[in-house]
Amino acid sequence: MANDPSMDALNKLKQAAAYRAVELVKSGMVLGLGTGSTFRFALERLADLLNRKRLENIQGIASSFATEKMAKSLGFPLTTFAIHPKIDLTIDGADEIDPDLNMIKGAGGALLKEKILQQVSRRVVIIADENKLSPRLGTHGPLPVEVIPFACRIEEIFLQSLGASVSLRMDVDGSPYRTDQSNLILDAHFGPISAPKNLAVLLNERAGVVEHGLFLDTTSDVIIAGTKGIKHLRRGVLNLQTNPSKPGHDRTNNH
């Protein structure tokens, strides 16, 4: 089967953003390990730098069983909150990013653990390709809402009352998708969300909702890879850095 040129180009952008984020990692750090196709490039890069002794004494806390499995396969050291209750730096992807660097996450189903990692991290770096940029959250896709199975139907009705069309996420085998916590995910299609903070409050207060995919005011850095180069944005600082280096360019980390 021939390679899809558009997918190859997209993967190069994802890799470029991931590699740039890894440059922020220093020896001795405890890292939060995200989930998803973009973060996979960061984890592979980190494991390679550890193997070549360019980084040392790095440990990570995984945001999903899938990331944990991948880390173990790469020989990347893992730790727990029992040993390290604070994280120096979390690297993760996003599904949609607005101009205020707020995000929707959860397409990979790991939104609960991802949000836990971010809330105890000293620095949160989000990596993405330019297609994830959005003028308003909800423009490109649904808002994932993790619910306990017991409350699934009433939470569906609740989300509909807020103006969303709602679908139960299904797994590849046709059964309802289950999170690492054995919960269900309702994908709530609101369209562009005019007041995400207000919506987050309503969801936070709703019994039966375990977590939602609105990640507001949680990130410190966003690294975006596009066809014209890489942009590194920080909260409160616009156009901090633009680098026209080629996507995927190997800039060796000398920390």
Q: Which residues are catalytic?
A: 114
Integer Cα distance of 184 and 187 in angstroms: 10
Tokens matching residue 99 = 């101009």
Nearest to 38 by CA among 16, 61, 68, 71: 16
Integer Cα distance of 236 and 100 in angstroms: 8
* Helix (H) and strand (E) counts in the chain: 6, 14
Asked if residue 144 lies in contact with residue 187, where contact means CB atoms within 8 angstroms, the answer is: yes
DSSP for 227-249, please give it: TTEEEEEETTEEEEEEE-PPTT-
Using CB atoms within 10 A of its CB, is residue 87 exposed (0-12), middle (13-18) or buried (19+)?
buried
